Amino acid sequence: MADTVETPPDENRGPEILAVCGSLVGFSLVVVILRLYVRAKMVRRVGADDWTIVAAMTVMFVEMMVIIPEVQLGAGRHVQYIDPPENVTKGLHLNFVTQPLCLVALCLTKVSVGFFLLRLTPASRLNWFIIGTMVFTVLSSIGNFLTVLFQCRPLALTWDSSVEGTCIPPSQLKFAAFFNSSVAALTDVVFALLPIPLLWNVQMNWKVKSAVTAILSLGIFAAASAIVKITFLGSYGQHNDFLWDSADITIW
């Protein structure tokens, strides 16, 4: 007798996706606005790191505006309960749109941190290492971006299985996803730990120095998030339930 596939329960993680992503994006937006206000009105010195983080925030805000209709179309739900069925294709299309946006936003954020560290210690011997890490970050992000854009020909096959064409074998895509996420976690750790030697000899009040180090070390949390996200990549799309499987990846 043929094996029967158990139907999953009708769970909806859409509100969880919106709550986590919306609150974090909203908090980030407030912080970036306050930062720009202080730099422009009080310090009267807006630098490359400020403009880069504004660009990152803009891209991330646009991504949030895409996530909202994606959830309305079924993100965070099992495919069996998405009605009408064509919403699955529309939801997957929006899910695809968020991927390059996320890559660009994360890259710009790390580049902004790099510019900030260069501004803190313009004469440091670590400058070349910081610049090298920034270049590596940009190049790896471009590689990720190209992988996303050229995974299927035509591209519409990425979100619409009824389209005829070819895609990179799933095993190769999964390897690329694991590799790219590992690189992201590595650069997060590097940027999180760099402030410690950089700020060691900077002429700052020890309280200010400790606060700046603690804030920049929040990159450790970003690295931890990237590592957690890696654990969900193995099961992504295993049962052609992409909108459900993408919930944890989107959140982390």
Q: Alpha-carbon distance 174 to 5, whole Å?
A: 24
Query: In this predicted structure, what is the pLDDT of residue 127?
Result: 87
Instruction: Give the Å distances, CA to CA, from 104 to 97, 156, 173, 182.
Output: 12, 21, 19, 17
Q: What pTM does this model have?
A: 0.87
Per-residue pLDDT at 85 exceeds 60: yes
Dihedral sign, CA of 71, 109, 97, 157?
A: negative
pLDDT tens sequence across 133-144:
999 999 989 988
pLDDT tens sequence across 215-245:
767 778 888 888 888 888 777 776 678 899 8
Q: Which two tokens stand for residue 41?
A: 């009105």
Q: What is the mean pLDDT of residues 54-81?
A: 96
Query: In this predicted structure, what is the pLDDT of residue 47?
Result: 93
